[in-house]
Amino acid sequence: MESVRVLSGANTPCNSFPNSVRAKVSNGRVSGQVGFAPLWRLRRRRRNGGLCLRLTGSVLGEGDESGLGLGGSSRDRDDDDDGVDRIQIQTQTTQSSGVDQRKKKQQLEKGLILGTERDGSGSVIGFHLIPPPGEIELSDSHEDAVIDEVRETEDIDGEETPQTRATYNVVFVTAEAAPYSKTGGLGDVCGSLPIVLASRGHRVMVVSPRYLNGTTADKNFAGAVDTGSCIKVHCFGGVQDVAFFHEYREGVDWVFVDHPAYHRPGNPYGDIYGAFGDNQFRFTLLCHAACEAPLVLPLGGFTYGEKCLFLVNDWHAGLVPVLLAAKYRPYGVYKDARSILVIHNLAHQSAINSEVSKPGKSGEVVHLVTESLGVEPAATYKNLGLPSEWYGALGWVFPTWARTHALDTGEAVNILKGAVVTADRILTVSQGYSWEITTVEGGYGLQELLSSRKSVLNGITNGIDDVDWDPSSDRHIAVHYSAEDLSGKVQCKIALQKELGLSARPDCPLIGFIGRLDYQKGIDLIQQAIPEILQDDVQFLKSSSMFQVMLGSGDPQYEDWMRATESAYKEKFRGWVGFNVPISHRITAGCDILLMPSRFEPCGLNQLYAMRYGTVPVVHGTGGLRDTVENFNPYAREGHGEGTGWTFSPLSKDIMLSALRVAIRTFREHKSSWKGLIKRGMQKDFTWETAAIQYEQVFEWAFVDPPYVS
Ligand SMILES: Nc1ncnc2c1ncn2[C@@H]1O[C@H](COP(=O)(O)OP(=O)(O)O[C@H]2O[C@H](CO)[C@@H](O)[C@H](O)[C@H]2O)[C@@H](O)[C@H]1O
């Protein structure tokens, strides 16, 4: 996918509108915006004979914003007597090394015909699209055209094969979106899925906070400019002024909600002292602002309007469907909008805090109330800016065992619960997890409610950003490699061992772990197993010559343990405490095995990255891990073997160690089987394109049913 911004050039009427022309070229389709007229959903068409002014240029590479210039001359002026000037856009891709194959293809885009828009004095103030009859299909974001259909009449070979699919105005609401903000997988998903949906013709906005924490991370927001739009949010007993910043990048409108509550040291949710005490306030603001953004922000000249599809991610965005139902629809606003709740992690709701979850006497998971994470005392309901009669949607009562004292009635407001009740549909990030959340073990108290909504509950396995995570072009790793030529992988391993101060031993298995240091991730199992893995224990297959590296941050007790383990096993163990994206790429490339003993895993991205990098996953068979890692069977396919890793179950230290032993024996003694495992994993399709098609199906279903009303 090429993403370009067309800057206005000399000698053209566009001179007075720098940055007013933007276009994206993807799979033979041009989308973007020109002047105040959105071009999204324009398809490539060839025209004989150009009209008027012509835009020409080259796509120089990812992120290049000056690739196209606007050229033109007087002879290009359109003298048709219809009173509009016209422009032809022509883009051509030039090759740049190391980018995705798709980027290496030359593309020629012709024939987008535009008209100018003039003010009363006759000055050009923008451009409109003028579709030649029967040649160009287009729509804009006017409300009556929000949901339209893309007719795809050409297949890859240029054959005429009519297909129709709907496109939507999609509004993601999320607490994090990479590369602007990321603490885990939520950021990855909300940073990459929107781009893929936009490339498929949808108009996509992502609304998240503009976090400024006084570190170099603030520069992530440098490309976002103040829109000048400011709204007043009535909540928490006062009126808050909230501003919007905006960046148009890779076909997506990235909208950042600005308020002083987002400007403080720490990550999006907390600092070294724990979760911020005002998170309910901070994310209430986000939700109110996200509901207003499609109505008030004229992005590219037009608002998104009311007929939107909100994708609300986890509890932080959970007030959005409640606000639509309680605050807007009763007044006839958003009556045709829909909302889909996307659950990335049910444990990230509420006082149900995974870091302090413990197995109870009868086997159920007991959660202690320590932090405010979306469940707050019932008295805080009045702060949310909702009509009082809607309390029931969010009202929640803790089971008796979870109450803190005899007089505690357990009454609370649970924002995610409100979203489960009011969202038009619910999605989880794998099919396995969509079932697990309806069980006592995985439902965190919401299982019955979720079961009652089974008819609108689906699971779609996450994709990965296959440009960012590509061993053949990854800028963070020492040597590039591919499934066809694996020689660079061992170089990456040696480079990693050197970087970490371990002896360079390509023959010794190197086991990696990357992730939040959290009870969810099964760190305690690794803790228990480390002595057996690293001590000179004959049971563990020459374990004296095995290495383990862990990268993670989170629970301080696990961070301390990693530091202590590194001191105890200087020759064999490295524990990198912190959040470091380049290192995470190097570990993914340099290790032989990625260990993921997650207690539960809604999808999991690291095992997908690992497989793409030829690193064999050994995972607990749960949720998305079970859905994505195929257990190795050396005897299948007449001895050629099948599978991409090992899934073990049930979750225990001993079972995990058994799986690791088998993996290590295969690494050492069955080289061809190991190579087969690597190659099969690398050839798996985990791209977002596949997931996006499934998302579109769910979008369609969302609009088949009427919206939620009380
Ligand atoms: N210390 C560190 N340094 C650098 N990078 C680090 C890091 N710690 C974690 N990461 C990165 O953060 C991401 C974590 O993604 P996961 O899907 O594994 O977990 P998470 O539990 O946060 O996400 C939740 O949401 C996602 C998305 O839906 C689900 O896949 C998942 O199951 C669910 O728990 C990966 O990109 C990983 O490389």
23-72 pLDDT, tens digit per residue, is: 444 443 344 443 333 333 232 222 332 222 223 333 323 333 332 333 33
Answer whether residue 160 shows pLDDT above 50.
yes
Q: Angle at CA 302, nearest 5°, toward 284 and 699?
A: 60
Model pLDDT, residue 50: 27
The DSSP letter of residue 126 is E
Q: Whose CA is nearest to atom 11 of ligand 1?
A: 184
Considering the chain, what percentage of its residues have pLDDT values greater than 90?
A: 64
Q: What is the pLDDT of residue 710?
A: 67
**pLDDT at residue 27 in the model:** 43
345 lines ligand 1 (CB under 6 A): yes
Q: Hey, which of 343, 344, 595 would you mutate to test ligand 1's pocket, going by the most ligand atoms within 8 Å of its Cβ? A: 344
SS3 content of the chain, % helix, strand, coil (to 5): 35, 30, 40
- List the one residue out of 317, 310, 343 whose CA is nearest residue 603: 343
- The four Cα atoms 38, 463, 425, 459 give a dihedral, to 10 degrees, of 160
pLDDT band at 136 (very low <50, low <70, confident <90, very high): very low
Ligand 1 lined by 604 (C-beta under 6 Å): yes
Cross-strand bridge partners of residue 312: 173, 341
Is the pLDDT score of 96 beyond 50?
no
pLDDT at 449: 96
Name the least confident of 93-97, 114-118, 238-242: 93-97
Whole-angstrom distance, CA of residue 196 vs CA of residue 180: 17
**Predicted-complex ipTM score:** 0.98
pLDDT for 563 beyond 60: yes
Residue to substitute in 183, 188, 427 for testing ligand 1 pocket (most ligand atoms within 8 angstroms of CB): 188
> Angle CA(632)–CA(635)–CA(636) in degrees, nearest 5?
75
CA-nearest residue for atom 18, ligand 1, is 604
Among protein residues, the one whose CA lies closest to atom 8 of ligand 1: 515
Helix (H, G, I), strand (E, B) or coil at 300: coil
Tens digit of each residue's pLDDT (9 = 90 or more) over 276-298:
999 999 999 999 999 999 999 99
**Is residue 193 within 6 Å of ligand 1 at its C-beta?**
no
pLDDT value for 562: 96
Domains of the chain: 169-359+369-463+696-704 (3.40.50.2000), 486-685 (3.40.50.2000)
Higher pLDDT, 476 or 274: 476
| pLDDT in the model for residue 296 | 97
Confidence of residue 630 (pLDDT cuts 50, 70, 90): very high
340-354, 414-428, 665-679, 688-702 — which is least confidently predicted? Answer: 340-354
What residues contact residue 237 under an 8 Å CB cut-off, 6+ apart?
A: 382, 383
Q: In this structure, what token pair is assigned to residue 167?
A: 């496109």
pLDDT band at 408 (very low <50, low <70, confident <90, very high): confident
515 lines ligand 1 (CB under 6 A): yes
Per-residue model confidence (pLDDT) at position 151: 54
In 200-355, where does DSSP find H-type helix?
279-296, 319-323
In short, whether 188's Cβ falls inside 6 Å of ligand 1 is: yes
Q: Give the pLDDT band (50/70/90) at residue 164.
A: low
Per-residue pLDDT band at 414 (split at 50, 70, 90): very high
- pLDDT of 612 strictly over 50: yes
Q: Which has the higher per-residue pLDDT, 143 or 302?
A: 302
In this model, does residue 367 exceed pLDDT 90?
no
Q: What is the mean pLDDT of the chain?
A: 79
pLDDT of residue 212 exceeding 90, the answer is yes
Question: What is the pLDDT confidence band of residue 432, given thresholds at 50, 70 and 90?
Answer: very high
Model pLDDT, residue 669: 92
Q: Higher confidence at residue 544 or residue 231?
A: 231
How would residue 2 be classed by pLDDT, with cut points 50, 70 and 90?
Answer: very low
Q: What is the best residue among 605, 607, 627 to mutate for testing ligand 1's pocket, by most ligand atoms within 8 Å of CB?
A: 605
Residue 254 Cα distances to 102, 245, 569, angstroms: 24, 8, 45
Q: What pTM value is reported for the model? A: 0.78
